[in-house]
Amino acid sequence: MRPSAIRYYERLGLVAAPERSSGQRRYDRQVLERLAIIRFAKHVGFKVIEIKQLLDGVDRRPPPHRWRNLARQKRAEVDDIIARAIAIRKLLDNTLDQKCPKLVERGSDLGSSCPYGAIAKKGKRLLPAMLTRARPPSRNR
């Protein structure tokens, strides 16, 4: 872990400021354990605010029940991310299987589940009018 990250965690109160010997920081086992917990929590996707919740009010390892509660919440978030990723992959696969992917129609079909669906529907209605207005004047006399 980089020294700047450790100092950042010190400023946030996640780890105690270490003793200094000849200007060098000396970390005891307790701080090293907390840094390992922080590193693991960050690795599995916890935000700093969630890590603060985990470690708040304890000097050593957090209570197991606190970890389990936060881990269950994070797991639900990860499950949601995976479900979305699978759905997106299916949509992309469907477009790859077609000669003409019909992106406007696919965007319009998304409806309210996608903020761009309404824009695409409006664009689909406005597109013919815009195309006719954008045509250069006819050269026929």
Residues 74-122 have pLDDT tens digits of: 999 999 999 989 988 888 888 888 787 777 877 777 766 554 444 444 5
Higher pLDDT, 119 or 68: 68
Give me the pLDDT at residue 25, please.
81
For residues 107 and 77, membership in a common domain is answered with: no
Among 140, 114, 108, residue whose Cα is nearest residue 127? 108
Give me the pLDDT at residue 103, please.
79
- CATH number of the domain residue 56 falls in: 1.10.1660.10
* Structure-token pair, residue 31: 């701080």
Q: Is the pTM of this model over 0.75?
A: no
- What average pLDDT does the segment 110-136 reach? 51
Give me the pLDDT at residue 105, please.
79
List of residues 6+ apart from 25 with CB closer than 8 A: 6, 18, 19
For residues 41 and 85, membership in a common domain is answered with: yes
141 within a domain of the structure (yes/no)? no
| Per-residue pLDDT tens digits for 5-27 | 888 998 998 988 878 888 888 88
CA 118 from centre of chain: 24
**Which structural domain range is residue 70 located in?**
3-101
Give me the pLDDT at residue 53, please.
92
Give me the pLDDT at residue 119, please.
46
